[in-house]
Amino acid sequence: MNEVSNKLTIRILIGRQEHEINVRRQDEEVFRKAAKIITEQLGRYEQKFRGQSYETYLSITLLDFVVHSIRHQKDMDFVLDGLKDISKEIDEELSSITEKKHL
């Protein structure tokens, strides 16, 4: 499939603003879901902290998502480090077994 036919122009609503963006066809659902989640979070902050500027709601929503992203990355790093340790132990054990068979 060529590059042009792989792209799709979609309109998404984020908060109060509509955006027209070009995405890969296989990413359309992800972008629509992300826009929905952002809009819902903005709405929650607007309800919880009435009377603030829309820029404040956008800023707090952005901060919230970035903090979650950083926490998720730290969790993933922890899991990956654990998997590397386990993989190393398995490799060492398999090497030990292989060496014993050759003796």
The residues spanned by each domain of the chain are 7-102
Instruction: Give the pTM.
Output: 0.68
How many whole angstroms separate alpha carbon 23 and alpha carbon 3?
11
How many whole angstroms separate alpha carbon 74 and alpha carbon 83?
14
Spell out the residues 6+ positions from residue 61 whose beta carbon is closer than 8 angstroms to its own: 38, 41, 42, 45
Q: What is the pLDDT of residues 15-32, one digit of tens each?
A: 999 999 999 999 999 999
Q: What is the pLDDT of residues 57-70, one digit of tens each?
A: 999 999 999 999 99
As a whole number, mean pLDDT of residues 35-56 equals 94
Q: What is the pLDDT of residue 91?
A: 81
State the burial class of residue 94 (Cβ atoms within 10 Å of its Cβ: 0-12, 13-18, 19+).
Answer: exposed
